[in-house]
Amino acid sequence: MDYTYAPGRNHLFVPGPVNIPEQVLRAMNRNNEDYRSPAVPALTKTLLEDVKKIFKTTSGTPFLFPTTGTGAWESALTNTLSPGDRIVSFIIGQFSLLWVDQQKRLGFNVDVVESEWGRGADLDALASKLAADTAHTIKAVCIVHNETATGVTNNLATVRKILDEYQHPALFLVDGVSSICALDFRMDEWGVDVALTGSQKALSLPTGLGIVCASPKAIEASQTAKSLRVFFDWKDYLKFYKLGTYWPYTPSIQLLYGLKAALDLIFEEGLDNVIARHTRLGTATRLAIEAWGLKNCTQKEEWFSDTVTAVLVPPYIDSSEIVRRGWKRYNLSLGLGLNKVAGKVFRIGHLGHLNDLQLLGCLAGVEMVLKDVGYPVKLGSGVAAASAYLQNNIPMIPSRI
């Protein structure tokens, strides 16, 4: 039995990995080549300039690691910090929890600030910690911009404001795995020292690139940071940047061509239009959920995520059954609830290469699954609410005006 086969297209609505554009698939469908020829360095040079735009930085230095988001985390931490360094980090869901776990295993002294899952990072607690830290023992503040497990977006401008208010020199490290290229993100303006993302999220590539961007302050910190690092050492990359060959080891060549195609598509649409599209898709999804009489796992509007929505189900329903049925009956892939919210939420990912009509297809599918599992939903109610909003808000396709 071929479990992957089903007629038509799979409706991929997990919050990463996401749909890959045909142009990107075609760009990656090429042979291996000699990465020491002039071609790969020329491509890399362009890519390093281009990725700065998605971070909204002019002063940052990007690195394209053949890794995933988890490797990008490790690169950010080990290049800027030394074992035993005190850092502040927040747990608000499964991915921030995993990052804290990595921080502890790498030997940092982590001040963990926990919030109920469905709430944003407790920034009042951050302010208290920074206020009390007149000796500047806190070396970094680590925060996940968008917690993919609960659909919560943290306010990074406020984090910067708090750091400035106390004139605290801690490094500001940001996981932008499910935000960068989809949500408003401004590395330079918000004084972010290291930002990172993974290729399989809003960039709409296969998994395999961890993109890390370091501010001048982070690069300076890397010169004295004592954490053990080899594969992820920025120093090796910087040496090869200077030489103009760019790579300390074999790059993932096909992914680099894919990245070029993915960035070209994003710039053709316009990064701000891409962000506006995500705002629209997020809003439409939330309107559908409201029409179904269900609740968003995210407790307050200020934290609503425009890349992923975690939907709470009534206690008599196991949300995993919704995900299972969606896939088995409707060829619809939804995200499972993870860890503390397993069985309680299912997630609709609305990020990356995706448009409004695709989303409506997903919402129609969710309605049918909800009915299947015994939830009294009126078929069409969520689709009607979402499409009424979308019909008023979808702009002309930028390239077709």
Nearer to ligand PLP, 168 or 278 (CB): 278
Nearer to ligand PLP, 69 or 251 (CB): 69
Least distance from ligand PLP to the Cβ atom of residue 207, Å:
6
Residue type, 194: V
Contact string (CB under 6 A) for ligand PLP, positions 26-65, x = contact: ----------------------------------------
Residue type, 343: G
Residues 79-138 within binding reach of ligand PLP (CB under 6 A): 95
Nearer to ligand PLP, 100 or 275 (CB): 100
What would the DSSP string read from start to end of 274-302?
A: HHHHHHHHHHHHHHHHHHHT-EESS-SGG
Residues 157-216 within binding reach of ligand PLP (CB under 6 A): 175, 177-178, 198, 207
| Angstrom distance (rounded) from CA 309 to CA 327 | 18
Least distance from ligand PLP to the Cβ atom of residue 45, Å:
25
Binding flag, residue 365, ligand PLP (CB under 6 A): no
Least distance from ligand PLP to the Cβ atom of residue 124, Å:
23
CA dihedral of 110, 114, 120, 124, whole degrees rounded to 10: -80
102 Cα distance to chain centroid:
18
| Angstrom distance (rounded) from CA 167 to CA 1 | 62
Give the pair of three-digit tokens for residue 32: 């291996």
CA neighbor of 146 nearest in space, from 123, 115, 125, 176: 176
Binding flag, residue 144, ligand PLP (CB under 6 A): yes
Least distance from ligand PLP to the Cβ atom of residue 371, Å:
29
Cβ burial 153-163 (10 Å sphere, 16+ → b, else e): bbbbebbbebb
Binding flag, residue 355, ligand PLP (CB under 6 A): no
Look at residue 197 and give its three-state secondary structure: strand
Q: How many residues bind ligand PLP (CB under 6 A)?
A: 12
The number of beta carbons lying within 10 Å of the beta carbon of residue 37 is: 9
Per the annotation, does 347 bind a ligand?
yes
Annotated binding site for substrate: 347
| Residues at the site binding ligand PLP, with contacts judged by CB under 6 A | 16, 68-70, 95, 144, 148, 175, 177-178, 198, 207
